[in-house]
Amino acid sequence: MARPKPETFDKAKTVAENRRARFDYAIDEKFEAGIALQGTEVKSLRFGEGSIAESYADVEEGEIWLINANIPEFSHGNRFNHDPRRRRKLLLHQSEINKLTGAVERKGMTLVPLSIYFNGQGRAKVELALAKGKKAHDKRATQKERDWKREQGRLLKDHG
């Protein structure tokens, strides 16, 4: 019998975070995916370098790829350095790949990377979200709600 997956992921050290994704997309479901990296990419990530601000994931030929993620060259990498914006394969179970593929093709959803982190075992992982793009009025509502929560916090702090 398969062990149930935990609700939250074991994030020991977060390297890169896509904060804009939560504003631009309505997050439906989250997945934890491994990422196929070269040696100098791992070293760059361990130093806390990397950006997934403009990146996205795509399904091609039954595999999921992380596209446009920027992991800069390692400073001591010499000729063995990697291409900073190369496509990187995401490692998921076949059932998860099938589920994501179906959602992207049928429902018009998007695969958005939320963060890159190292788990408790020291493995680089990507938190991948199945999301639907927000319209302008949804974004305004989110901003309005965020401002109201901030104002509530100020009022409680002043009077509480």
Give the CATH number, domain containing residue 41. Answer: 2.40.280.10
What pLDDT does residue 12 have? 80
For the chain, what is the domain count? 1
* Angular region, 66: left φ>0, alpha ψ -120 to 50, beta rest: beta
Structure tokens at 103: 């959602």
The pTM of the full predicted model, rounded to 2 decimals, is 0.77
Structure tokens at 45: 């990530």
Q: What is the pLDDT of residues 86-140, one digit of tens each?
A: 899 999 999 999 998 888 888 888 899 999 999 888 888 999 999 888 888 888 9
Per the rule left: phi > 0, alpha: psi between -120 and 50, beta: everything else, 8 is beta
Range of the domain at 104: 13-134
Please report which confidence band the pLDDT of residue 1 belongs to, taking 50, 70 and 90 as the band edges.
low
Q: Which of 100, 96, 102, 131 is nearest to 114 (CA)?
A: 131
